[in-house]
């Protein structure tokens, strides 16, 4: 009888430990994208991205909207920041945060154009961990779209195996929405992945969540879907093609082949015969957050921004 009790007790302990192990795996589980192998940051990478400056890029924009091409401008701001893994905000005191401090590359895309009498202003912010072997998914994405009718705000926060999606809109059809979307590659993070992974993207068929801007403009519910990524190269440029399999949407991205792999141009084709196109005008590295004086407005001329 004692021997039997010992066996039962041993099995119970093992079962308990197995359950605890399973629970731990579920809590910490993330869904990696199919990346080409990453390498640790080089000295060249560190010297460039931890110089105390942001990379500012201005682009001419031809934006497809309401069946016509509109003239506009895009600014891409790439910068590294300390980021809270738990709160998913920029850390005020990163040294005190310990393991909660996850360095990210932030991309702010600021897109402006005019439709007839009124203006559009769109800002998207993407926060992608620099060490994506340890943290394989972008932690946060949000997009705000303002125009004279009103504005919408969309945000995705990484929560284990899902992105927690929240949307606030003045449109009745959109309303205030909240749902989970399975974690996978985001269209908005393609550019941060390129900058972090030596100019490379995963190739072949991938799961991807299409652009939040496309979701609003095409009135498509945001979801994970299939796309194929392919590339061609010249001596100076890497050309990427991204084609969605279930949506009439194609994207191209031209990337500087050599470090720091700047984004030279991109296009968006939603199958209506009109192609949105952004082309690099000027790139500068500046600590823009400290350039607030009237005398600093000359930097706008240097960046070739529209008056």
pLDDT number for residue 169: 93
- Do residues 187 and 211 touch, judged by C-beta distance below 8 A? yes
Q: Which residues pair with 191 in a beta bridge?
A: none
Average pLDDT over the chain, rounded to an integer: 89
The DSSP annotation for 177-193 comes to EEEEEE--EEGGGHHHH
Residue with tokens 């082949």: 257
* Domain contains 157: yes
pLDDT number for residue 128: 98
- pLDDT, mean of residues 83-98: 95
CB neighbour class for 278 (10 Å; exposed up to 12, middle 13-18, buried from 19): buried
CB neighbour class for 295 (10 Å; exposed up to 12, middle 13-18, buried from 19): exposed
Q: Which has more confidence, 175 or 242?
A: 242
* Domain contains 12: no
- Model confidence at 24: pLDDT above 60: no
Cβ neighbours, 10 Å, residue 31: 16
* Domain contains 244: yes
What's phi and psi for 19, nearest 5 deg?
A: -60, -45
* Domain contains 231: yes
* Domain contains 149: yes
* Domain contains 132: yes
Q: Torsion angle of alpha carbons 292, 145, 119, 283, nearest 10°?
A: 50
Instruction: Specify the range with the lowest mean pLDDT, choosing from 1-10, 202-211, 226-235.
Output: 1-10
pLDDT number for residue 171: 84
Structure tokens at 255: 């990337």
pLDDT number for residue 47: 97
Q: Which residues pair with 185 in a beta bridge?
A: 208
- CA–CA separation, 191 vs 109, rounded Å? 10
* Domain contains 112: yes
- Do residues 12 and 68 touch, judged by C-beta distance below 8 A? no
Q: What is the pLDDT of residues 100-128, one digit of tens each?
A: 999 999 999 999 999 999 999 999 999 99
- pLDDT, mean of residues 60-79: 98
Residue 65 vs residues 32, 201, 252, 274: alpha-carbon distances, Å: 34, 28, 18, 9
- Domain count along the chain: 1
Structure tokens at 180: 């989970």
Q: What is the pTM of this model?
A: 0.86
Which residues form the domain of 156?
A: 31-302
pLDDT number for residue 13: 38
Q: Which has more confidence, 229 or 10?
A: 229
Q: What is the pLDDT of residues 171-208, one digit of tens each?
A: 887 779 999 999 999 999 999 999 999 999 999 999 99
- CA–CA separation, 224 vs 19, rounded Å? 30
* Domain contains 25: no
pLDDT number for residue 29: 36
């Amino acid at each position: 009888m004692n021997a039997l009790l010992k066996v039962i007790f041993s099995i119970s302990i093992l079962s308990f430990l197995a359950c605890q192990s399973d629970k731990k795996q579920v809590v910490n589980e993330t869904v990696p994208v199919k990346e080409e192998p990453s390498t640790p940051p080089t000295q060249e990478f560190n010297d460039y991205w931890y110089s105390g400056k942001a990379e500012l890029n201005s682009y001419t924009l031809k934006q497809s909207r309401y069946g016509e091409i509109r003239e506009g401008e895009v600014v891409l701001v790439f910068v590294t920041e300390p980021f809270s893994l738990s709160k998913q905000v920029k850390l005020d005191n990163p040294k005190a945060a310990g393991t909660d401090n996850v360095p990210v590359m932030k991309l702010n895309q600021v897109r402006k154009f005019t439709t007839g009498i009124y203006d559009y202003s769109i800002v998207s912010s993407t926060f992608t961990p620099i060490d994506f072997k340890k943290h394989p998914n972008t932690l946060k994405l949000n997009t705000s779209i303002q125009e004279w009718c009103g504005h919408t705000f969309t945000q995705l926060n990484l929560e284990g195996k899902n992105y927690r999606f929240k949307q606030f809109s003045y449109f009745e059809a959109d309303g205030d929405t909240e749902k989970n979307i399975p974690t996978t590659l985001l269209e908005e993070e393609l550019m941060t992945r390129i900058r972090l992974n030596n100019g490379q993207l995963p190739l072949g068929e991938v799961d991807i969540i299409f652009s939040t801007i496309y979701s609003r403009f095409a009135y498509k519910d945001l979801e994970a879907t299939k796309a194929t990524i392919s590339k061609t190269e010249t001596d100076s440029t890497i050309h990427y093609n991204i084609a969605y399999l279930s949506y009439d949407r194609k994207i191209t991205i031209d990337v500087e082949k050599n470090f720091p792999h700047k984004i030279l141009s991109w296009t968006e084709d939603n199958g209506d015969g009109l192609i949105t196109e952004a082309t690099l005008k000027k790139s500068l590295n500046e600590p823009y957050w400290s350039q607030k004086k009237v005398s600093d407005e000359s930097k706008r001329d240097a960046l070739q921004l529209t008056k």
